């Protein structure tokens, strides 16, 4: 490694650590003041709150690392432009692309680390953090979920849902069991599908079995559609279903195959599956965009302006990325394109600025 590359690598890492520590600290502070009242209301010891926020740190680091890379590149190159270091290096025969090499290598390394975080640390820690939040803080112990099967315990009733599709508030493979005081099954309702509309659940293709007291047999009734008074709404199901950030790529891939083999639509999960590969590359994208933007402007602007440009660029990326994923969830874009489109746009933008920076 040459002296110039050592200098750039050192400055980039120093700047990245400062930015990452600052942003994670602000994120944790805001999260703490937002949620601490819930821990106090639940009468949990302070140690549980500390464990909860500590478990959220890997997720926060994974979310803010791309911004840290972008701001580090913008600040380092911005200061070099301001101090005429870029002009001096170019006068000595050093090209822009030579300066860009350590930035690209750093972006690749951070992309690999981000993938590791999302594959190993984030699923493990976020799963435990969500259990603390829902079970201990929110006291939602009556609703449990394992894989795609959801069990809901009510007042002398148990509901089983095979699959929940959040995008259109639809449940599949619904079974309702009602019991008397002796825990004897007095009624069972099976439905192929349930749709939430007008503030109510409507079950489709329903089979009802009612216990007859005379001979202990069951009366069977078939209905095309039947309204149901269920003790939960789609938002409740969304909270308890295992989140994609709680699953590694392998787990999510196996889950998608299992859902599709049983005949259910797994489009939203396929979008998230593609995003698990596309998202870590954002560190490389931000290193390209940051370098191109800082070197293309050629203005001697200060530290504050570089931070503003970095935050604005990151905000634009997240807005466009979220919009493309929404198009994928709505089946307006194929899952692969929805996950990678924003990356492709920003790579083209950053490359164009680098080409015009000489």
For the stretch 99-133, pLDDT in tens is 888 888 889 999 999 988 888 888 888 888 888 88
Q: Is 342 exposed, middle or buried (0-12, 13-18, 19+ CB in 10 A)?
A: buried
Q: List the alpha helices (DSSP H) in 184-266.
A: 234-240, 249-261
Is the CB of residue 237 less than 8 Å from the CB of residue 161? yes
Which backbone phi and psi does 172 adopt, to 5 degrees?
-130, 150
How far apart are the C-alpha atoms of 237 and 240, rounded to whole Å? 5
How far apart are the C-alpha atoms of 290 and 301, rounded to whole Å? 15
Give CB contacts under 8 A, 24+ apart, made by 321-326. Answer: 325/271, 325/275
DSSP string, 303-351: HHHHHHHHHHHHHHHHHHHHHHHHHHHTTSS-HHHHHHHHHHHHHHHHH
Cα dihedral 72, 30, 246, 282, rounded to 10, equals: -20
How far apart are the C-alpha atoms of 166 and 326, rounded to whole Å? 13
Give pLDDT, residue 319: 92
Residues of the chain with pLDDT below 70 are 1, 140-148, 239-242, 297-304, 306, 357-358
pLDDT, tens digit, for every residue of 195-217?
988 888 899 999 998 888 777 78
Query: For tokens 């191109």, what's the residue?
Result: 292
How far apart are the C-alpha atoms of 205 and 219, rounded to whole Å? 17
Helix (H) or strand (E) run with residue 74 in it: helix 46-82
Is the CB of residue 149 less than 8 Å from the CB of residue 160? yes
Cα dihedral 288, 289, 295, 300, rounded to 10, equals: -140
Q: Is 53 exposed, middle or buried (0-12, 13-18, 19+ CB in 10 A)?
A: middle
Give pLDDT, residue 87: 77
Q: What are the residues facing 223 on neighbouring strands? A: 206
Q: List the alpha helices (DSSP H) in 92-230.
A: 96-116, 122-131
How far apart are the C-alpha atoms of 271 and 293, rounded to whole Å? 30
Its pTM stands at 0.73
Give pLDDT, residue 25: 92
How far apart are the C-alpha atoms of 122 and 252, rounded to whole Å? 14
| 184's tokens | 């004897």
Using alpha carbons, select from 15, 167, 150, 164 the residue that is nearest to residue 77.
15
Segments of the chain assigned E as strands:
143-146, 149-154, 157-165, 170-179, 185-197, 200-211, 218-228
């Amino acid at each position: 490694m040459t002296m110039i590359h050592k200098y750039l690598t050192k400055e980039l890492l120093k700047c990245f650590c400062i930015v990452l520590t600052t942003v994670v600290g602000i994120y944790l502070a805001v999260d703490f003041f937002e949620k601490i009242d819930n821990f106090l209301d639940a009468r949990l010891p302070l140690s549980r709150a500390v464990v909860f926020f500590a478990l959220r740190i890997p997720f926060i680091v994974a979310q803010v690392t791309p911004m840290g890379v972008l701001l580090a590149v913008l600040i380092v190159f911005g200061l070099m432009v301001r101090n005429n270091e870029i002009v001096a290096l170019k006068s000595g025969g050093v090209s822009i692309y030579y300066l860009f090499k350590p930035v690209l290598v750093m972006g690749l390394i951070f992309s690999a680390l981000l993938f590791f975080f999302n594959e190993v640390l984030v699923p493990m820690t976020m799963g435990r953090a969500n259990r603390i939040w829902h079970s201990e803080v929110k006291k939602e112990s009556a609703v449990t979920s394992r894989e795609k099967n959801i069990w809901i315990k009510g007042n002398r009733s148990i509901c089983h849902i095979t699959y929940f599709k959040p995008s259109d508030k639809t449940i599949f493979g619904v079974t309702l069991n009602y019991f008397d005081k002796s825990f004897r099954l007095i009624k069972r309702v099976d439905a192929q599908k349930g749709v939430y509309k007008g503030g109510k659940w409507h079950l489709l293709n329903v089979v009802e079995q009612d216990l007859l007291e005379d001979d202990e047999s069951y009366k069977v009734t078939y209905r095309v559609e039947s309204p149901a008074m269920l003790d939960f709404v789609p938002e409740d199901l969304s909270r308890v279903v295992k989140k994609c950030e709680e699953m590694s790529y392998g787990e999510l891939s196996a889950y998608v195959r299992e859902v599709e083999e049983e005949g259910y639509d797994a489009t939203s999960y396929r979008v998230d599956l593609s995003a698990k590969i596309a998202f870590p590359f954002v560190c490389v994208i931000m290193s390209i965009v940051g370098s191109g933007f800082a070197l293309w402007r050629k203005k001697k602007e200060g530290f504050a302006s570089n931070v503003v440009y970095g935050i604005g660029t990151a905000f634009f990326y997240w807005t466009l990325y979220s919009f493309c994923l929404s198009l994928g969830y709505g089946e307006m874009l194929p899952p692969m394109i929805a996950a990678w489109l924003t990356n492709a746009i920003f790579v083209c933008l950053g490359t164009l600025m680098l080409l015009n920076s000489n």
